[in-house]
Structure 1
Amino acid sequence: MKTPKTNPIDTPSVYVCAGLVSGAGALLLNVLPVLFGAFAERFGLGEQQLGNLAMAMNLGFGAFGLASLLWIHRLSWRVISALSSALVAGAIMFVLRDPSYEALLAIMALAGAGTGALYALAMTIFGDSSQPERAFGFKLGIETVPGAFLLIVLPVAVAPVWGFDGMLITIAIAMVVMGILPLPWVPRRSERRLEVSGTAVRIASTESRIIVWLSLVASLVFLTGIMSVWAFLELMGKKTGLASDTIGMVLALGFLINAGGGFIASAIGLKVGRFMPVAVIILAELLGLVALAQFSSLVTYVAGVICFLFSIGFVLAYTFGVMAEFDLSGELVALGALCLSLGAAFGPAIGGVLIEAFGYSSVLWFSGVCSVAVLAIYGAAVMRAQLTFQRIRVSGTVVMSGL
């Protein structure tokens, strides 16, 4: 009797090391408030110039996330991670030379390209898992921890002692530590893609692609709604009279709560199905938005932020998970990086327009509508997945993981 082959992705060492690679891909986005605050002070940049830098970084991130479809399965995963991490670290270190604003735009675009490649790579690695919901839950949890750590350490411990240069060097070192040092424990290529290509009978490609694209759209809509509020959480707190240091501590706590959401999704997996956990957490997120709309004290602000941020890693674990399971080519899952980029670009822009025109409550309504839409889109994807598995069971042609 043959022993079932263990998926090389589903091991603790790969989860941790590939999670660190994913953390490297998300690092600049996670520390952006601190980094841009330092840029503003060092180079005398205004809000519009900082916004342009963020746009340049997101464009680079999204462009390389999309371009990864061309080479993500043609090059060694270890080579991709090493080169991308070196690109980001080199771009960050080049800022130490006090470049012009135009050069800084190009630098941020290059740094965004490197992080986009890293994030697309991590999406592909975890997409190879035989238990994608659990894998993506762990990924989304662990990738948040380094960013939360640096958000606290950079302004409190690094900047007061080593200044602006020390902050940049710390970020560059973090990129090397997360994107290069763990590579001996990261697979060189996809095993799942080879197995799928050799399978004689598979799910109809049209049906699988519909499920994948529904999941991608759900992820994009969710991220757009989330980012439309995330960008203005500090201003919402200040508007009600909370101190900046208090808000900073709340947001740092919320960042860690976000990581906890991913880890909890990883622990739950498919034990209670795909749809019910997402529905419950989106309901909690909506309650958080209500609390943020009506808060008049620190307690309600904290409750709103925690409910709101907890949902991010949890919901994305499931939308990315169903996408990965039905991405038979193993290629489209990398587009999760593009979803993150577009959500980070469009969400704050839409939020800013709504706030200026109708006030802060309007952006909370927008985020809530996005979440309800996500539940409908994701529900359609899950329903199609269930029908697909039912047809498979009847025909007995292929066996995949259950719902």
Structure 2
Amino acid sequence: MSNRFGLKGNIALMVSHCAGMLDLVALPLWIGVLVATYQFDPQQAGGLVTLFLIGAVLASVTLAPKFKQLKRRAVASLGFLLSGICFLTASQISDFIPLAFLHFGAGVCASAALSMAHGTLARSVNPHRLFAIAGFSLGVMGLLFMGATPNIIQAVGGTSLFLIFGAIMMVGSLACALAFPALSFNESTQGQQAPNANATIPKSVWYGIVGISLMAVTQAMTFSFMERVGNDRGFSADSITLVLVALAVINIVAAALAGILETKISAKWVLIIGPVLQIIFANIMMNASSFPFYAVSAAFFVSLMLFTHTFVFGLLARLDTSGRAMAATPAMLMIGAAVGPILGGTLVKLVGYHGIGLATIVFGCISLYCLTRVFARQDIATKPKLAL
């Protein structure tokens, strides 16, 4: 069934989304700090972030099938709290092995919380619109994060990044403890059918899951090394920071447009164009020696994923009557994202940055095929009627 969460409940979901999706905005600084401050090579730095994302995938896959039975508020608030403790502890450690365990633990805990938030969000009256608002909130947080964090790191040192991560997780924990919304599974609203928890997930939904996961591979693999490739091409730190701030602003606009255009444009075209543009921008970013080309491709890169995933989330939320697939949203994103940083680091180490560009072509083409297969069912409306 559909649920209305009220202002406090919606705010808790927005804060949860921002905390749980921290990697989406922080990847380049995260990798940059691990390389520049901790002196890890690109493969090791990518491996640490990958461990965070592997932990996230395992938590999401484990908890999503049990979403209905769990105490969602308790899992969300405790998950963010423990993730915050892991990051705060990481700020005091410089050895690879302890950092590896802490990254993995932080990923498990943050994703457990995020799975509760996404599963709840998918049961709102209008999942597409609420997910777009969540993306807008993440864009605002990203703007604040990118505007302040590089200066803090420069002034205090790279370890401050993990202190900031820990603080964000603690805020998420507090918001969930105070206002995480309750769900009703037994009633129907405005003639809508209650979700059948035992229904089989349609094949078209599985295609969508694979497609968005592969977009996440390209996203993480490329974005993780955005700051490093700019630095190695000789672009100044101030210029790269300016690009990151512009990226955050564009993300806000993209998330807002995804909500506004829900009933105005075809979801099918969004799912086709998204992977294609992702391939183009990734290759420009990884191969450009000119700053303007690098800056434009980097500034718009993340917004492609935000915009496309909003339409994918809304579409799959309507197709998956069991409700289980959307609770696994973190796994959809992070099972792909988990591969990205270490794969990108390995390609950079062995081949160079252009290797990432070539890999994005392979993943992007497979993703495009899978996302078009979502529409193999003839009963899918590509321009859904807005739920009120």
Whether TM-score is above 0.5 comes out as yes
**Of the candidates 174, 181, 186, which is equivalent to residue 180 of structure 2?**
186
Q: Name the SS for the 1:270 alignment partner.
A: coil
| 1:7 is the counterpart of 2:3 | yes
Change (3 A) 1:326 1:298: same
Alignment of 1:74-223 (within 5 A): 74-95=69-90, 98=93, 101-157=96-152, 160=155, 167-181=161-175, 183-189=177-183, 191=184, 195=188, 199=193, 205-206=199-200, 208-223=201-216
| Structure-2-length-normalised TM-score | 0.83
Unaligned runs of 5+ in 1: 391-399
CA distance in 2, matches of 1:298, 1:44: 26
Unaligned runs of 5+ in 2: none
Assess if the C-alpha contact under 8 Å between 2:31 and 2:224 holds in 1. no
* Matched-pair identity in %: 20
User: How far off its partner does 1:281 sit?
Assistant: 4.3
CA distance in 1, matches of 2:233, 2:94: 39
CA distance in 2, matches of 1:89, 1:241: 35
The amino acid of 1:138's aligned partner reads I
CA distance in 2, matches of 1:102, 1:19: 33
User: How far off its partner does 1:323 sit?
Assistant: 1.7
Alignment of 1:2-401 (within 5 A): 7-9=3-5, 13-27=8-22, 30-35=25-30, 45=40, 47-95=42-90, 98=93, 101-157=96-152, 160=155, 167-181=161-175, 183-189=177-183, 191=184, 195=188, 199=193, 205-206=199-200, 208-289=201-282, 291-292=284-285, 295-355=288-348, 359-384=352-377, 386-387=378-379
Change (3 A) 1:351 1:132: same
Greater displacement, 119-128 / 89-98: 89-98
Instruction: Summarize deviations over 1:43-90 as a string: whole Å, max 9, x none.
Output: 665555434432332221111111112542223322122111111122
Q: Name the SS for the 1:387 alignment partner.
A: coil
The amino acid of 2:79's aligned partner reads S
CA distance in 2, matches of 1:205, 1:44: 50
CA distance in 2, matches of 1:272, 1:139: 20
Assess if the C-alpha contact under 8 Å between 1:53 and 1:108 holds in 2. yes
**Number of aligned residues:** 384
CA distance in 2, matches of 1:226, 1:200: 34
Greater displacement, 41-50 / 51-60: 41-50
User: How far off its partner does 1:138 sit?
Assistant: 2.2
Instruction: Summarize deviations over 1:12-46 as a string: whole Å, max 9, x none.
Output: 55444311101111225643554565566776655
| Structure-1-length-normalised TM-score | 0.80
Higher relative contact order (Cα pairs below 8 Å, separated by 6+ residues): 2
The amino acid of 1:136's aligned partner reads F
User: How far off its partner does 1:317 sit?
Assistant: 0.9
The amino acid of 1:375's aligned partner reads L
Q: Name the SS for the 1:143 alignment partner.
A: helix
Tell me which structure has the larger Cα radius of gyration: 1
Taking only aligned residues, the RMSD between alpha carbons, in angstroms, comes to 3.6
Assess if the C-alpha contact under 8 Å between 2:274 and 2:305 holds in 1. no
Q: Name the SS for the 1:318 alignment partner.
A: helix
> Is the helix fraction higher in 1 or 2?
1
The amino acid of 1:110's aligned partner reads G
CA distance in 1, matches of 2:91, 2:322: 42
User: How far off its partner does 1:210 sit?
Assistant: 1.2
Assess if the C-alpha contact under 8 Å between 2:44 and 2:342 holds in 1. no
